[in-house]
Amino acid sequence: MRAVVFVNGEITDYEATARWLHQNDYRIAADGGARHMETLGLSPDVIVGDLDSIDEPLLARFQREGAAVERHPVAKAATDLELAIARAVSDGATEVLLIGALGGRLDQTLANLLLLAQGKWKVPLAVAEGDQLARLLRGPQELTLTGSEGSYVSAIALSEEVTGVTYRGLEYPLENATLRLGSTRGVSNTLASSPARISIDTGILLVAQQFS
């Protein structure tokens, strides 16, 4: 089961966002992320958070439509997004896609991206933003990339170092390389052929890809 978590960040292109959604997704609203679901004409299966960002009329409407509510105190040790991912995993999700996780406040954007690197998540996590998709690799792992030739692909280390980084089918190849936290070496590559592959031996790597 794939869970999609709608976050209270910015979405500037709802048409592009809709391309990532499937009819049978398990839909979770992380508090104010429910507003994006309303815009897209969707209803959540679950609403998670301290509920300080969702409009009361919208909350009441979604409850009437059958949404479960997992309410947390305002003073809590985790963000609404972290709690929503935990709910998705506990409900049986085998992969989690985040929508609306970027934009707006810089601190929340950074926290949302770094949240993906937490070792406690045992399912694949991804973030969609417009025509872009960011996926996480935990070594040893390989990722297959499909798409239009010339579209960009970037790889960014989220652990102190990522070893054994090897590209196949990208314009600028790597062979058994090491990418370190803070390095821009893996930024702005392009797809030379499809399918392409990125594999790593150890570490945590964020791979962002553009889809036209």
Query: Which numeric CATH code is attached to 2-130?
Result: 3.40.50.10240
Q: Where in the chain is the domain with CATH 3.40.50.10240?
A: 2-130, 135-210
**Domain 135-210 -> CATH class:** alpha beta
Which residue, chain included where needed, has tokens 């509920």? Answer: 51
Structural tokens at position 42: 């969707």
Reported as a single tens digit per residue, the pLDDT across 142-152 is 999 999 999 99
Name the pLDDT band for 5 (thresholds 50, 70, 90): very high
Reported as a single tens digit per residue, the pLDDT across 13-65 is 999 999 999 999 999 999 999 999 999 999 999 999 999 999 999 999 999 99
Reported as a single tens digit per residue, the pLDDT across 116-158 is 888 788 899 999 999 999 999 999 999 999 999 999 999 999 9
Q: What percent of the chain has pLDDT over 90?
A: 89
Name the pLDDT band for 104 (thresholds 50, 70, 90): confident
- Global pTM value: 0.93
CA 40, CA 14: separation in Å to the nearest integer? 7
Straight-line distance from the first to the last Cα atom of the chain, in angstroms, rounded to the nearest whole number = 26
Q: Do 84 and 49 form a contact (C-beta atoms < 8 A)?
A: yes
β partners of residue 205: 137, 157
Which residue, chain included where needed, has tokens 């770094």? Answer: 114
Q: Do 136 and 156 form a contact (C-beta atoms < 8 A)?
A: no
Q: Of residues 4 and 108, which shows the higher confidence score?
A: 4
